[in-house]
Amino acid sequence: MEIIETGFKGLIVVKPEVYADNRGYFFESFNRDAFHKSGIDFAPVQDNESKSSRGVIRGLHYQLKPHQQAKLVRVVQGRIFDVALDLRRSSPTFGKWYGIELDSDGKSQLFIPGGFAHGFSVLSDIAIIQYKVDNVYDRLSERGISLNDPELKIEWPACGAAPVISEKDLKNPSFREAEYNF
């Protein structure tokens, strides 16, 4: 398993070792010991999966302390542009975002520590995303930030389809108006 630094403290790209032959492939999508050896303390308690079609943009979602969630995101089918926005006030990358294309062929994953907002856009006809989290969902702690906040300047890639965004996500406040406690 290869761990790749992103320039954001704790935000890493994980490239698993894939064993492929004429039967197909095998890889470990998560290995607690490998994470611990790399200095990453991550103990998932919930597995989530979403399916979306081309043009869907979800996010930017997070949960307030003490219910914040670290996430390990991977694409089971398709291709996405994944975004993590640093909400940790003491971080040198506070208010900055990191984006990466993830796909089912490459098998790379993004580990997002607590204190980040998360979102993605779907670049393929269908995308199935799985992510492990280290804290259960808490509806009262759920928050969001506008996907199109001009201050953030997130460069959502064109995917050949009109954006599909939920009513809930369209109502998210700007970065400056959002509530966060990290």
Give tens-digit pLDDT for 82-100: 999 999 999 999 999 999 9
Assess whether 61 carries a catalytic annotation: yes
From residue 117, alpha-carbon distances to 31, 96, 151 in Å are: 24, 11, 15
Mean pLDDT of 121-141: 97
Residue 19 belongs to some domain of the structure: no
The domain in which residue 58 lies consists of: 44-170
Residue 180 belongs to some domain of the structure: no
| Domains: count for the chain | 1
Mean pLDDT of 53-75: 97
Mean pLDDT of 27-56: 94
Residue 115 belongs to some domain of the structure: yes
Residue 28 belongs to some domain of the structure: no
Residue 137 belongs to some domain of the structure: yes
- Of all residues in the chain, the percent with pLDDT exceeding 90 is 95
Query: Residue 118: which CATH number?
Result: 2.60.120.10
From residue 91, alpha-carbon distances to 7, 54, 130, 175 in Å are: 11, 33, 27, 16
**Active-site residue identified among 25, 61, 118, 137:** 61
Supply the pLDDT for residue 146: 98
pTM of the complete model:
0.95
Supply the pLDDT for residue 159: 85
Residue 101 belongs to some domain of the structure: yes
My answer on whether omega of the bond before 66 falls inside 30° of 0, hence cis, is yes
DSSP class of residue 37?
H
Residue 133 belongs to some domain of the structure: yes
Residue 96 belongs to some domain of the structure: yes
Structure confidence at residue 161 as a pLDDT band (50, 70, 90): confident
Structure confidence at residue 18 as a pLDDT band (50, 70, 90): very high
**Active-site residue identified among 62, 98, 131, 180:** 131
From residue 43, alpha-carbon distances to 32, 70, 85, 171 in Å are: 7, 9, 22, 32
Supply the pLDDT for residue 168: 96
Q: What is the mean pLDDT of the chain?
A: 96
User: Residue 177 above 90 pLDDT?
Assistant: yes
Mean pLDDT of 124-144: 97
Assess whether 67 carries a catalytic annotation: no
Mean pLDDT of 30-43: 92
The CA distance from 157 to 182, in Å, is 29
